[in-house]
Structure 1
Amino acid sequence: MKQRFRYSLISLSILSACSLNAMANYDDGMDEIEQITVTSTRTAKSSTELALSIGSVSEDVLNNDNSQHLSESLQTIPGVLLNQLSGGQGHNAAIRMPINYGGYTLYLQDNVPLQSAAFYNHNALWWASSNSSLSRLEVMKGAGTSLYGSGAVAATVNILSAPVDSDKNEAGITLGENGYARYQGSATHHLSDQNGVRVSGAYLSNDGWRDNSRVEKTELNVLHEVSVADKHSFKTSIMASSLDQQMLNALTADMFAQDPSQSGLPAEVIKIDPRRKTDYFRISSEYQYQGNGVFASIIPYARYRSNDYIATWQPNMPQVESSVKTIGVLALSNFSHSDDFETTIGIDLEYSQGDAFSFQAATRTTSGWGAATYPKGHVFYDDKTRFKGIAPYIQHVGSITSQLSYSLGLRYDSNEYEFENNLAVYDDDGFGNRSIADRTDTFDHMSPKASLNYQLDDTSNVYVRFANAIRIPTASELYHLKTKETSAQLSSLSEETSDTYEVGYKVNLDAFSLELAYYIMAVDDAIVTAYDDFGASYRVNAASVEHQGIELGVNYQYSDSVSVAFAYSQSDHEFDHYIEDQGRVDYKSKESKAHDLSGNSLQMAPEYVANLRLNYNSRAIEGLNIIAELQSIGDYWMDAKNTQKYSGYTVANLKFNYDLSDALKLHVRIANVTDKKYALQSELRYGKERIQPGAPRTMYAGLNYSF
């Protein structure tokens, strides 16, 4: 462990002890404020009952944020960083991980996955609903419970819709600089006391603060809930959305210094107006049975998404067209043997079919290393992949004493790919791409989970847990290969496995809550990017990685009008063992190109992530709420060789909410109030800096009306 990280642990421990002492002295008569979560078990549980680190964003916070992207609210949870890329709707994540594009985070809406792990896309929140029908957001950090399989390694993010429990209707409009406009609304109708339906939707249009960054998004949700004889209930959800977004590229350091608002694209590429278009549709219906000591849930679902774009981050900027169709079932039964023992048995079933096609949309000549002319119409890949996943699991919770409980879980994931290639088989298409024969690949894994939870009293607990998890390679990683040099990798790419060890403490009181967690996550057979002698990239299991960190979340209601929320994480992400370019030899000097990076920090791994919010409800002006926010990340290495550092950033935001009446609310938001020029993220690729610029000061204002 690095010395500075050890000091951070000590300082945070002292801070936590001081917080606990202040809490104890504040008011011995504090009442418990119960925090409920559904993500871990698909049933409502108190946070202090669970040996897990779960953060949430309440409906009040969502309403007061009025954010243009869910990432802005999610970052109030300790250890959660999502970068809203290029000011649009794309994003990546850094939750117990460096900033990355890999499939380490599982994204759900109402407990149903937004995408298949076999066709993972780091922009999963494209397809999440973010209109006025939401009730809260939950993030389960670390490897999930036995209910979750591939992808639930670093975190599980769950977007939860509000229940259809009132006849409340809403309409809202938000306008902002750079042509920003968002319209949203919902209408609820009750057919009876046990039968209701809500229709909600939103439309977003934004020209963007950077050149060539216009985006339009439309979404529609229908939610129907009905209860029968108190024991049976059905919840049917339909989600549909369409996104059309212009494409950008990262900037070099010179471009960023000159004008961070430029697109980063060559003039000939701008002429073809590169865009990303994605359509999404999902229908699911959950049946629940709640009997005497028995709970059962069955969720069949069907899902479709398309994703067409020009890959502006690649030198030749190819066109990519893909679609994924999925049908699946999530089923579980929970049996309460007594007040102190319960067992959950379940199974997840998924069948997905992904179609992928990539070609050269326009003739383009690249420069520098590996320069070539790519002719219009050249096809890079054209294939179909079928994926089948079967995952039975069991989870048992019991009590050892009145205060000490345990949880044991086991999940078996059986995954199968069937690859069908529409192109001829060849080693090299002239541009370093291989085309392989039809094939079948399987990935099977058993994931154990175990935890102990000690209930200190009705309001607090300490816990320790262990969880094993996997990330399977995606279809693209398996079958879209580079050059004949990768033939040895064809059958050797395997799933990543991780072991998470965690200890934590939680307390929830009326005016004070605190969550403290320390984790170590070891990842074996980590999939990394390697390069052949022609500069072409491919994927290989070549590393073991260790992630460790501490997370602290504090909420303190100082008075009726003032409250403070603080979310902080300090982490260290290192290669435990990694030989970069192992086996490669320089064709001129005949010397080895291998570099031992063991002990190096992973690139784009911030030393800390912090969010501080001051919430003020004015006494002088009734109905006025003011939120002052600081978002900050620490420095990090920009490359795996640890040759150059980025210093991080701190930005401030202001939010105003004013109740004009019981039904009408005015909101104003100023992002980056100091107009700070900063890089949202910065990395080195091929020795060149690639910068995603942060947005300048931007103002938004709007009205929400409830009726």
Structure 2
Amino acid sequence: MKSGFSYSLIAIALLQADVLYAQQQSDDIEKIIVTASRTAKANTDLALSVGSVSSEVIRNDNAQHVSESLETISGVLLNQLSGGQGHNAAIRMPINFGGYTLYLQDNVPLQSAAFYNHNALWWASTNSSLSRLEVVKGAGTSLYGSGAVAATVNVISAPVSNENDNLAITLGEHSYQRLNGSVTHNISDTNGVRVSAAHLDNDGWRAHSSVKKSEFNVLHEFQIDDKQSIKTSLISSTLDQQMLDALEEDEFLQDPAQSGLPSEVQAIDPRRTTDYARLSAEYTYEDNDFYASVIPYLRYRSNDYIATWQPNMPKIESSVNSIGLLALTNFRHTADFETTIGIDLERSEGDAYSSQPTTRTTTGWAAATYPEGHVFYDDETTFVGVSPYIQHLGKITERLNYAVGLRYDHNKYDFNNALPVYDNDGFGNRSIASRDDTFEHLSPKASLNYQLNTHSSIYTRYANAIRIPTFSELYHLKTKETSAQLSSLNEEVSDTYEIGYKANFDKVSVELAYYVMDVKDAIVTAYDDFGSSLRVNAAEVQHQGFEFGTTYTLSPAWSLSLAYSQSNHKFDHYIQDEGRIDYKTKKSKEVDLSGNSLVMAPEYVANLRLNYNSQTISGLHITAEVKSIGDYWMDSENSQEYSGYTIANLKANYQVNDALKVHARVANITDKTYALQAEIRYNRERIQPGSPRMAYIGLDYSF
């Protein structure tokens, strides 16, 4: 595959320009990061590739989805599936639906790793109380366990004291309406509360894609004394979204706005509904060389939907209740050495039920008739995770720092099946006896960080991480005849090796990283004779890439930012359908895919923004954005290729006065028809169409 950009030329030219320009500057600007350690640190002090999105960028984006702002970080791609609130991710990974990204809000996980859902940002509170976004790329620090393999995404709320009361409304095409606001009450100098809420109502540009989402959250902060504080947070939301399906190529070319649903399925109005609530409280104590943080939390979520991407389109109902505790202490031994000791505890109980909502006869390969009311699974799973960890930072010389860490994860599942035990329900599904499974792993981390000067550093790091299989991967199985997955899966183990450079100057910032990530026992998707998917440990995978991000202030009026990554994701070893026999021909179905590129792995991802702050019209800010991804293979056999896309967006904000702001944006200004993502599943093309030109306008009033 040929790249649409030459990353080496871009990186060298811009890096040289940045460094030359920066040498003329006298002041440095620190970028502060909290995700790596739960305490504020300058990013040049961290041997990590970590990006952040400021509150100013978030406010100016006025995004339909928080992913639009996250993509200003190099190597970050999040697709808004079907133009709604769902998403998947590609951060140091192909575009995927697996549990390789850990999602947090204010340092607390949005979901359990055992019940992972790729749409986790559904449940993040992203209304007017949002302050900053941070992404730690690659395996996280010792503070984070299963799922922190490719990235850790943290949605950070603003402190109560930093917020004014506000009310905002955004209107757009297809009856798009978003209303959000917040009210702050300072009870005293040490005690304050903020209540914020938002409501979204959107018919959607595709048929049968309407969405309604409401969210509500309360943040209370209490400064007990000069050493102790308590922050209590409640976030809750409800989502009701119509379901639709990906399109085949002829459907996409005919009308990308159609739903892709058969008429008999659309007649039952398939929807997804999800409710979410999380209550947490953080107690902190800080005194000179000692810091402690304790965060207990309660979490609930439901997720009910019609799986329109499966041939028979079954109904899924699930809920998860969690209780957890995040606790750590940090000791500063001297000015040059500190140690963090902590433990994460979680207990989650999940219910899952799946049935056939309407009689459906599939056509083509492995055609079958699925009768209404047939039950595919009905079970309860209890998950308990206990994860102590230690992390130590120190100095070798005045400029050379080191960090070492160790995390032990003990994860246990207790599965209780309400269905009888059988090998085949007639549709390739297997029901197993109630059982329990335990996964244990020790993850070491080590890094070196060298301060070149007060505003730049280079680093190298190694990090081991795991992804445990989810409860559905473990227990919702296929038959022995059609699956190598006979009882349970192993956890995936990854090793990340990385080198990088960071610099923050008065007019320019630079972040540069090269990584290699090897994954053992990679969990991959296989398909049974009915066209349904299953998950198996069957591969060794290597991910490697180059990331470059820079923001360059050309003048008081103009600035330029570039987020660019180039990557290669391939199977080191993978025998697809190993040991499987075609039930018709009785011949082996094995295919050696070793050396092939992974599905939906763009060769590059780029986001370029030109920002203009008018010097003649006070308060006017305009952003022109170009987003581009490179080509990738649509199937594991590497037989069909998608050429990627390039689109442009335009955003404008005008601060009328101290209280009132007017904003407008146009997405896909050339009205380009393109595929947001394209793959081959169930032996047919599945295209998620990108949205056409869309216009939005809004008002934001602070008081």
**TM-score of the aligned structures, taking structure 2 as reference length:** 0.98
Question: Which of residues 614, 634, 638 is equivalent to 1:638?
Answer: 634
1:686 aligns with 2:682: yes
State the Cα deviation string for residues 575-616 of structure 1 (Å, max 9, x = none): 000011111233454432211111100010000000000000
Per the alignment, in what secondary structure is the counterpart of residue 484 of structure 1? Answer: coil
Tell me how far 1:490 sits from its aligned partner. 3.5
1:675 aligns with 2:634: no
Tell me how far 1:563 sits from its aligned partner. 0.4
Q: Distance in 1 between matches of 2:532 and 2:24?
A: 64
Say if 2:524 and 2:537, in contact at 8 Å, map to a contact too. Answer: yes
Aligned to 1:22: 20
Aligned to 2:100: 104
Question: Which of residues 522, 527, 542 is equivalent to 1:526?
Answer: 522
Matched letter for residue 475 of structure 1: F
Per the alignment, in what secondary structure is the counterpart of residue 64 of structure 1? Answer: helix
Residues 239 and 248 from structure 1, CA distance in 2 versus in 1: closer, same or farther, beyond 3 angstroms?
same
Aligned to 2:512: 516
- Stretch moving more, 436-445 or 579-588: 579-588
Matched letter for residue 570 of structure 1: Q
Question: Which of residues 384, 387, 393 is equivalent to 1:391?
Answer: 387
State the Cα deviation string for residues 448-477 of structure 1 (Å, max 9, x = none): 000000001110000000000000000000
1:621 aligns with 2:617: yes
Question: Which residues in structure 2 correspond to 1:93-492 (within 5 Å)?
Answer: 93-166=89-162, 168-485=164-481, 489-492=485-488
Say if 1:176 and 1:698, in contact at 8 Å, map to a contact too. Answer: yes
Say if 1:485 and 1:532, in contact at 8 Å, map to a contact too. Answer: no
Q: Distance in 2 between matches of 1:453 and 1:465?
A: 9
Structure 1 unaligned runs (5+)?
none
Identity of aligned residues (%): 69
Q: Distance in 1 between matches of 2:700 and 2:149?
A: 38
Q: Distance in 1 between matches of 2:293 and 2:475?
A: 36
Aligned to 1:65: 61
State the Cα deviation string for residues 614-672 of structure 1 (Å, max 9, x = none): 00011221111110000000000000100010000000000010011110000001000
Tell me how far 1:488 sits from its aligned partner. 5.8
Question: Which of residues 11, 21, 34 is equivalent to 2:9?
Answer: 11
Q: Distance in 2 between matches of 1:205 and 1:588?
A: 49
Q: Distance in 1 between matches of 2:148 and 2:13?
A: 30
Structure 2 unaligned runs (5+)?
none
State the Cα deviation string for residues 118-172 of structure 1 (Å, max 9, x = none): 0000000000011000110000000000000000000000000000114610100
Equivalent pairs, count: 703
Residues 21 and 43 from structure 1, CA distance in 2 versus in 1: closer, same or farther, beyond 3 angstroms?
closer
Say if 2:428 and 2:482, in contact at 8 Å, map to a contact too. Answer: no
Q: Distance in 1 between matches of 2:504 and 2:317?
A: 48
Residues 581 and 121 from structure 1, CA distance in 2 versus in 1: closer, same or farther, beyond 3 angstroms?
same
Per the alignment, in what secondary structure is the counterpart of residue 313 of structure 2? Answer: coil
Matched letter for residue 19 of structure 1: A
Say if 1:144 and 1:152, in contact at 8 Å, map to a contact too. Answer: yes
Say if 2:480 and 2:486, in contact at 8 Å, map to a contact too. Answer: no
Per the alignment, in what secondary structure is the counterpart of residue 78 of structure 1? Answer: coil
Tell me how far 1:412 sits from its aligned partner. 0.2
Per the alignment, in what secondary structure is the counterpart of residue 465 of structure 1? Answer: strand
Matched letter for residue 212 of structure 1: H
Say if 1:8 and 1:570, in contact at 8 Å, map to a contact too. Answer: no
Per the alignment, in what secondary structure is the counterpart of residue 552 of structure 2? Answer: strand
Aligned to 2:534: 538
Tell me how far 1:517 sits from its aligned partner. 0.3
Q: Distance in 2 between matches of 1:480 and 1:183?
A: 40
State the Cα deviation string for residues 173-223 of structure 1 (Å, max 9, x = none): 000000000000000010111110000010000000000000000000100
Question: Which residues in structure 2 correspond to 1:30-49 (within 5 Å)?
Answer: 30-49=26-45
Q: Distance in 1 between matches of 2:402 and 2:389?
A: 17
Q: Distance in 1 between matches of 2:697 and 2:49?
A: 35
Matched letter for residue 259 of structure 1: D
Per the alignment, in what secondary structure is the counterpart of residue 477 of structure 2? Answer: coil
State the Cα deviation string for residues 433-456 of structure 1 (Å, max 9, x = none): 111100000000000000000001
Say if 2:160 and 2:184, in contact at 8 Å, map to a contact too. Answer: yes
Say if 2:539 and 2:573, in contact at 8 Å, map to a contact too. Answer: yes
Q: Distance in 2 between matches of 1:218 and 1:686?
A: 35
Matched letter for residue 473 of structure 1: P
Q: Distance in 2 between matches of 1:110 and 1:440?
A: 32
Matched letter for residue 429 of structure 1: D
Per the alignment, in what secondary structure is the counterpart of residue 15 of structure 1? Answer: helix
Q: Distance in 1 between matches of 2:584 and 2:190?
A: 77
Aligned to 1:594: 590
**TM-score of the aligned structures, taking structure 1 as reference length:** 0.98
